[in-house]
Amino acid sequence: MNTPLKLAGFAVGLAAVFGAALGAGRLAGPVGATAAEAPAGHEMGGGEHAETAGGDRSPGGLMVSDGGYTLALDDAVLPAAPAAELSFRILGSDDRPVLDFAEAHEKELHLVAVRRDLTGFQHVHPVRDAGGTWRVPLALTPGSWRVFADFTPGDGGENRILGADLAVAGESAPEPLPAPAATAEVDGYTVTLDGELSAGTESELTFAVSRNGRPVSDLQPYLGAYGHLVALRAGDLAYLHVHPAGEPGDGVTRPGPDVVFGTTAPSAGTYRLFLDFRHGSVVRTAAFTVTARGHEEAGS
């Protein structure tokens, strides 16, 4: 299995930032509770954008610029803090901040921040001012981070997922990637994964949520769905985001305990999955390590 990039400290993270800046266009989670009312949970893009996971387009988040749009961070280095402010702009082909965005799943832009060792995952919603600058507080620990902006231009353009590196000052101790497992625990909840991620072929992943040994059958809608899934490929942090089959109020989809997704990995390898779900008016994130097998492996 591939292993994620290792960080030795701030110097390494800073080098990664400037290395990526020199190669623009190159590749570029807390798994815990967040108050649902705070601007800290999010669902981006949507299942309709799953083509970024395979097919004609490359995975999302690998480029800082794409399709005439650029993710411009105001600062590429931030201090470690429980609420460090990240500010950025989405620039158009004229190098001016974009001011017109289409609302997708109740938000104009969704942002994911994750440390390169695939810890510190945060799924947040920045606020935009009249000049086109977005701001959001992030809980940052020392090391090298990657931030992803998921948005759709308001002029009818297609969804874009741009990524940029962010260095956080201080000594860092990279954490090893957890071994693959079918269950994850978060705040007294157990989430069980059934299904395998496949490369180049859509597969079905089912997440079953339980608490104290009992299935949770009253999940709450969160930005229009009962769950949201982000997958990041270990190493380069190629980004996938999909939404579950069905939606609240469609007369078919049940509010748990199962949340079902159909998704395709862009390649064989190791991925970290982050599932957001809402219960008791709190958004929680369960994390899994999985191995995506190639078509030949899956058929063997």
Q: Do 164 and 187 share a domain, yes or no?
A: no
DSSP bridge pairs for 287: 274
DSSP secondary structure letters along 42-77: ---S-GGGGGGGSTTSPPBTS-SEETTEEEEES-SE
What confidence tens digit (pLDDT) does each residue in 3-56 have?
Answer: 333 333 333 333 333 333 333 333 333 333 333 333 333 333 333 333 333 334
Question: pTM for the full model?
Answer: 0.80
Q: Do 72 and 211 share a domain, yes or no?
A: no
Amino acid in the structure at residue 24: A
Least confident of 59-63, 161-165, 272-276: 59-63
CA distance 171 to 168: 9
Q: Do 15 and 158 share a domain, yes or no?
A: yes
Q: Do 153 and 46 share a domain, yes or no?
A: yes
DSSP secondary structure letters along 204-260: EEEEEEEETTEE---PBPBTTBS-EEEEEETTT--EEEE--SS-TTSSS--SSSEEE
What confidence tens digit (pLDDT) does each residue in 263-277 have?
Answer: 899 999 999 999 999
What confidence tens digit (pLDDT) does each residue in 170-193 have?
Answer: 998 889 999 999 999 999 999 999
Burial environment of residue 176 by CB neighbours within 10 A (0 to 12, 13 to 18, 19 or more): exposed
Q: Do 76 and 187 share a domain, yes or no?
A: no
Q: Do 112 and 210 share a domain, yes or no?
A: no
Q: Do 231 and 258 share a domain, yes or no?
A: yes
Closest Cα partner for 209 from 225, 188, 230?
Answer: 188
Q: Do 203 and 162 share a domain, yes or no?
A: no
Total domain count for the chain? Answer: 2
pLDDT surpasses 80 at 286? yes
DSSP secondary structure letters along 110-168: EEEEEETTS-S-EEE--EE-TTSEEEEEEEE-SEEEEEEEEE-BTTSPPPEEEEEEEEE
Q: Do 227 and 113 share a domain, yes or no?
A: no
Domain membership flag for residue 2: no
pLDDT surpasses 90 at 84? yes
| CATH for 74 | 2.60.40.1220
Q: Do 19 and 160 share a domain, yes or no?
A: yes
Place 297 in a pLDDT band, splitting at 50, 70 and 90.
low
Q: What is the pLDDT at residue 6?
A: 36
> How distant is the alpha carbon of residue 18 from its chain centre?
23
Q: What is the pLDDT at residue 295?
A: 59
Q: What is the pLDDT at residue 187?
A: 96
What confidence tens digit (pLDDT) does each residue in 108-159 have?
Answer: 999 999 999 999 999 999 999 999 999 999 999 999 999 999 999 998 889 9
Q: Which domain holds residue 245?
A: 183-299
What confidence tens digit (pLDDT) does each residue in 197-251 have?
Answer: 999 889 999 999 999 999 999 999 988 899 999 999 999 999 987 778 888 888 8
The backbone region for 170, taken as left when phi is positive above 0, alpha when psi lies in -120 to 50, beta otherwise, is left
Q: Do 70 and 100 share a domain, yes or no?
A: yes
> How distant is the alpha carbon of residue 110 from its chain centre?
9
Q: What is the pLDDT at residue 300?
A: 47
Domain membership flag for residue 174: no
CA distance 64 to 69: 8
Amino acid in the structure at residue 240: L
Domain membership flag for residue 1: no
Q: Do 19 and 142 share a domain, yes or no?
A: yes
How many CB atoms lie under 10 A from the CB of residue 84?
16
